[in-house]
Chains A and B, each alone.
Chain A
Amino acid sequence: MLRFILKRILEAIPVLFIVATITFFLLHRMPGGPFDTERPMTPEVKKQVEAYYGLDKPVAQQYFNYMKRLVLHGDLGMSQKYFGWSVNELLAGSLPVSLELGLEGLLFALFFGLLAGIIASLRKNTASDYVPMSIATLGICIPNFVTGPLLILVFAIYFGQFNASGWNFPRDRILPAMTLGLYYMAYISRLTRGGMLEILNQDFIRTARAKGASERRIVWKHSLRGGLLSVVSFLGPAVSGIVTGSLVVELIFDIPGAARFFVGAAFNRDGPMLMGTTLVYAVLVVVMNLLADVVQIWMNPRLRFEE
């Protein structure tokens, strides 16, 4: 187990390194920068600005400097749009908000997805199966940039129960977390139902019944582990999707998270900011994938001995 984790970490490092390198040289080819959009600078000012950001040095040198500071100090450089601010400072204020939103969306998806899926599998072909599964089909097809505005329209504007935007009170978390988690809730409920149905048909469930185990015990002790394996392997891709989804959700609900820096940097051609946010997202997704793999192996003893 420990060896597996070490192996995966060792594998993740070069992947992240390649991602950083590609992103760096890609962004180096980016035409213009945030300085272009404002009034043209005088050549002297421009020179000073370029010297400040180290843009006057050869690319190889820039790359080397960037990687050195990144690896040694975790330094993501200075933002070009927010003059005088480092990318680290800007992200330190906003990333926790994004992480909270993502976590809440994921928890929402897991809680209701698992609940609906388990109930549907135990009451197969009844209303408690059809109703949540139909909702799940809806949830899978409707994208979050449609559900978000519609939720605002219904719950904030018509019923006035929630704020249409902002991130000040606990209840401000509800609509964004729902918007972000709906698709994953739907997907997880389907995976859960399928996985549970497969397990509940296995011979060893019959053995458990023959032992006099109660239905509750059969679900909790005998079925969940095997039935939720597919859900766990879906968690990796789900985290990736939640990161992407949060870009839209933060925009819709006007949440002060990292997304506005990323999307803003895309519009303003703020290279260091784009580079920094991309790296943070990549690390986040890679780490969460690793975690999902570990959980999966912990849950499936047969995988544990394969290495």
Chain B
Amino acid sequence: MPLLEVTNLRTSFHTRHGIVRAVNGVSFSLEKGDTLGIVGESGSGKSVTCYSLMRLIPEPPGKIEGGTAAFDGVDLLTASPEQLRKIRGKRISMIFQDPMTSLNPYLKISEQLIEPLLIHENISRADALKRGIAALEEVGVPDAAKRIRSYPHEFSGGMRQRVMIAMALITKPELLIADEPTTALDVTVQAQILDLVKKMQRELGMAVIWITHDLGVVAGFCRRVQVMYAGRIVERAATDELFQQTAHPYTCALQKSIPALQPKGAALYTIPGMPPDLSRKVEGCPFVPRCEFAQDQCRQPVELKDVAPHHATACLRVQKGEINLKHE
């Protein structure tokens, strides 16, 4: 049985200007200790997917409309608040995009760091503090015993993200959801944080879901990737295969927009057009208006289907074998 099995998750936001279907029928599963990357542009629904799993969507305006998310036999989407609290921070932890705002500026690091232990484990404050210091040392915060008594604003962005990681992993969770934890950081710090999470995963053997808009990060870290667009998964594959046997025009376009993967001197590529307005209902493939391969048939409903073992795409024309995106 997989650790996490999500089926047909649908989340929407009820705004004054209509219903925004942010996540529209997403299914995936994750084995113990596996690493899954979720890639997409802003507004593709990758973050909302994960916040929905943790039930951290602000309701209202957000609403989980349907689907299931079985975590070790418990459906996270229908679990009671008490059940959920026992899982959050204990078995599933999360780290967030902006370490500047994700830590409480009014509380000492120590208070926040050991909070998961105090909530979930029957442990004395002194012991929790000892483990807190050990955890800080583990993530590479120098002079941990002293700095644990500081406030967040006394730390740099990279150090705060290290604190966030220490806090998320202090209970040795089975699953870590990382919501673009490197986006707000300097490039050099990004690599350090990435290495840190890799190291911690090796030590603790947890599964990781890594949300990012950066295919480069995925390439170096994730075993499997799924690409999201307009609230749906458009392609899913093992990481190597995604790059070598690309099976969706959107993934292809994403790759082209990574400068490092292009020959030197080539003009920077940007995907033409804008992501679709999610408050309007889209029949068929949502990428049609921006897709260079689009045909009339692409406007009929399309499902995510395997085109190779463990490699699925939601492009009708690829499924039919009409186009081949390899080394295009």
A–B contact at 8 Å CB threshold (below): yes
Residues of A whose CB lies within 8 Å of any CB of B are 202-204, 206-214, 217, 221-222, 225-226, 299-302, 305
Q: Is B247 an interface residue (CB 8 A)?
A: no
With contacts defined as CB atoms under 8 Å apart, how many contacts are there between chain A and chain B in the complex? 78
Q: Which residue of B lies closest to A204 (CB)?
A: B104
If A203-B98, A211-B93 are given as contacts, then 18 extra A-B residue pairs at C-beta distance below 8 Å, sorted by A number, are: A204-B101, A204-B102, A206-B102, A207-B103, A207-B104, A208-B115, A209-B88, A210-B56, A210-B88, A210-B94, A211-B116, A212-B85, A213-B85, A213-B115, A214-B119, A221-B111, A222-B106, A225-B106
In the assembly, what is the distance between CA of A208 and CA of B85, in Å? 11
Q: Which residue of A lies closest to B86 (CB)?
A: A212
* Interchain nearest-CB distance for A14 vs B (Å): 33
In the assembly, what is the distance between CA of A146 and CA of B116, in Å? 52
Please list the 5 inter-chain residue pairs (A to B) with the smallest Cβ-Cβ separation, ordered nearest first.
A212-B89, A211-B89, A212-B88, A203-B101, A225-B106
* Interchain nearest-CB distance for B117 vs A (Å): 10
* Interchain nearest-CB distance for B62 vs A (Å): 12
* Interchain nearest-CB distance for B84 vs A (Å): 8
In the assembly, what is the distance between CA of A213 and CA of B171, in Å? 14
Q: Which residue of B lies closest to A213 (CB)?
A: B119
Query: Do A214 and B103 have beta carbons less than 8 Å apart?
Result: no
Contacts of A212 in B (CB 8 A): 85-90, 116, 119-120
Q: Is B107 an interface residue (CB 8 A)?
A: yes
Q: Is B223 an interface residue (CB 8 A)?
A: no
Q: Is B153 an interface residue (CB 8 A)?
A: yes
In the assembly, what is the distance between CA of A221 and CA of B119, in Å? 12
Question: Can you offer 19 A-B residue contacts whose CB atoms are under 8 A?
Answer: A202-B101, A204-B102, A204-B103, A204-B105, A207-B112, A207-B164, A208-B104, A211-B93, A211-B167, A212-B86, A213-B89, A221-B107, A222-B106, A225-B107, A226-B105, A299-B106, A301-B153, A302-B151, A302-B153
Contacts of A209 in B (CB 8 A): 54, 56, 88
Query: Do B104 and A222 have beta carbons less than 8 Å apart?
Result: yes
Q: Is B210 an interface residue (CB 8 A)?
A: no
Query: Do B96 and A207 have beta carbons less than 8 Å apart?
Result: yes
* Interchain nearest-CB distance for B147 vs A (Å): 14
CB-CB under 8 A for A207 and B88, given A301-B151, A302-B153: no
* Interchain nearest-CB distance for B174 vs A (Å): 14
Contacts of B112 in A (CB 8 A): 207
Q: Which of B98, B106, B111, B116 has the most CB of A within 10 A?
A: B106
Query: Do A226 and B106 have beta carbons less than 8 Å apart?
Result: yes
Contacts of A206 in B (CB 8 A): 56, 96, 102
Residues of B51-106 whose CB lies within 8 A of A:
54, 56, 85-90, 93-94, 96, 98, 101-106
Residues of B165-202 whose CB lies within 8 A of A:
167
Query: Do B102 and A207 have beta carbons less than 8 Å apart?
Result: yes
CB-CB under 8 A for A301 and B115, given A206-B56, A210-B88: no
* Interchain nearest-CB distance for B21 vs A (Å): 22
* Interchain nearest-CB distance for B72 vs A (Å): 16
Q: Which residue of B lies closest to A207 (CB)?
A: B102
Contacts of A204 in B (CB 8 A): 101-105
* Interchain nearest-CB distance for A301 vs B (Å): 4
Query: Do A203 and B85 have beta carbons less than 8 Å apart?
Result: no
In the assembly, what is the distance between CA of A207 and CA of B105, in Å? 12
